Amino acid sequence: MAGVALTDRQRLDWLRLIRSESVGPRTFRALMNRFGGAAAALEALPDLARQSGRTLRLCTPAEAEREFAALQHQGGRLIALGEAAYPKPLQAIDSAPPLLAVIGAADALLRPCVALVGSRNASAAGQKFTARLARDLGEAGFVVVSGLARGIDTAAHEASLGTGTIAVLAGGLDEVYPPQNEPLFRRLLESGAGISEMPMGWAPRGRDFPRRNRLVSGLSLGTVVVEAARKSGSLITARFANEQGRQVFAVPGSPLDPRAEGGNHLIREGATLCAEAAHVIEALLPLVEFEQWPGGGGAVMRDGAGEAPPQALWDELDLPGITPAPKTELPAETAWQDKAWQDKALPSETSDQGINLLDLLGAAPISIDDLVRASGRSARDVSRELLELELSGTVLRQPGGLLTRLMP
């Protein structure tokens, strides 16, 4: 698959769009679909916002250029969705970041990855097992992905320094958290990479960590949870992995050990018990050989397994005015050229206001697909009216793109 590449101008526009107020990955995609390109979307956004009586702060060209410069200064670069350097498994997820900031050995992103996550307050045994697992997975050719946190994450990165490991940061690439892992981060860049979807200088807030976790699982063919209490970020990662159609592994532990509760729970819910690296390798090797990167719709674990991410992970959820496209198929790679977007965004359908969407909407969340089916109207037409309804504050979009009517 020959990758396409954005022009410098396009990359700048993409960066400006994704850095503008209330635009997240799904909204970005919706805007691209609606306006055919980032430049056109940037042009249209102020008007869209005005229609709902809001103002929307756009990222200026100067700001975007400063981010480019800061990243370059660190030796990093921005990889765009659809480009050859963008990791295919991540591209397959619902909320893939349009731009990925990368430093270090970016080619690690193109090797088969396994996520290894777990408790910050890990036991000595948990860390020892993690190190053994990471080493064995590395020797088997896998890149170990984790979140640079204390405990399990640290043990995973350290044991795979020689074979390649990727740290996914919740803040900007110059905002390493926790600070004491700054030296580890520097070391892992030699044969691995650091990545982030956040701007340089962005200090991570609490909500950025679960959001980041979707990238940890999304980069990876499988996610292994080593030690996790009942309510923990690792279970959010497992939930993401499952929703992304990726295999979830969990390391068992004694029922008397609270740190084993999360893992044991995951196993009961359908995660694969992992007691050694071979259990992961034998499950993932077929995916590597056939280069199959599963997309969403994971149904291996029971519904509700893992920990649901907190509401409003995405800034875009607060944006009235854009109907996102969570289920939209990725366009072919060439379609990422702005021109191709433009073509796709101009269908010949005409509006048909036969059925009032508001009558179809209520307190129970409903998907756009269902709305299209129920209304008998075109998807484009439904999207357009939803936009108005959202801008007027009558309709609210929930996580996952489901819509509810706000009752007065």
Residues engaged in binding a copy of itself (CB under 8 A): 125, 128-129, 251-257, 260-261, 264-265, 267-268, 272-276, 279
For residue 98, how far is the Cα from the chain centroid? Answer: 10
**DSSP tag of 405:** E
CB environment 223-242: b (16+ within 10 A), e (fewer): bbbbbbbeebbbbbbbbbbb
Residue number, 267 or 391, with CB nearest to a copy of itself: 267
Residue number, 158 or 390, with CB nearest to a copy of itself: 158
Amino acid identity at 326: P
Q: What is the token pair recorded at 278?
A: 């071979």
Beta strands in 129-226 (DSSP E): 143-146, 165-168, 193-196, 222-225
Cα dihedral 311→228→222→80 (10° resolution): 40
- Smallest distance, Å, CB 137 to a copy of itself? 14
- Smallest distance, Å, CB 31 to a copy of itself? 45
CA separation for the pair 126, 154 (Å, rounded) = 12
Question: In this structure, what are the phi and psi dihedrals at residue 250, rounded to the nearest 5 degrees?
Answer: -140, 140
- Smallest distance, Å, CB 240 to a copy of itself? 22
Could you give the 3-state DSSP secondary structure of residue 103? strand
Of 237, 72, 219, 248, give the one whose Cα is nearest residue 149. 237
Contacts of 345 by beta carbon, 8 Å cutoff, 6+ apart: 32, 33, 34, 35, 36
- Smallest distance, Å, CB 288 to a copy of itself? 21
Can you name the residues that pair with 115 across neighbouring β-strands? 145, 223
Residue number, 304 or 354, with CB nearest to a copy of itself: 304
Amino acid identity at 232: S
Residue number, 1 or 256, with CB nearest to a copy of itself: 256
Residue number, 129 or 185, with CB nearest to a copy of itself: 129
Of 19, 33, 24, give the one whose Cα is nearest residue 68. 19
- Smallest distance, Å, CB 127 to a copy of itself? 11
- Find out whether 127 and 155 touch, Cβ atoms under 8 Å: yes
Residue number, 18 or 284, with CB nearest to a copy of itself: 284
- Find out whether 373 and 367 touch, Cβ atoms under 8 Å: no
- Smallest distance, Å, CB 252 to a copy of itself? 3
Residue number, 94 or 269, with CB nearest to a copy of itself: 269
Residue number, 79 or 226, with CB nearest to a copy of itself: 226
CA separation for the pair 188, 363 (Å, rounded) = 48
For residue 145, how far is the Cα from the chain centroid? Answer: 14
Residue number, 22 or 264, with CB nearest to a copy of itself: 264
- Find out whether 129 and 251 touch, Cβ atoms under 8 Å: yes
Residue number, 130 or 375, with CB nearest to a copy of itself: 130
Could you give the 3-state DSSP secondary structure of residue 205? coil
- Find out whether 68 and 173 touch, Cβ atoms under 8 Å: no
- Smallest distance, Å, CB 112 to a copy of itself? 22
- Smallest distance, Å, CB 123 to a copy of itself? 9
- Smallest distance, Å, CB 254 to a copy of itself? 5
Q: What is the token pair recorded at 46?
A: 């102020």
Q: What is the token pair recorded at 66?
A: 């400063």
- Smallest distance, Å, CB 260 to a copy of itself? 7
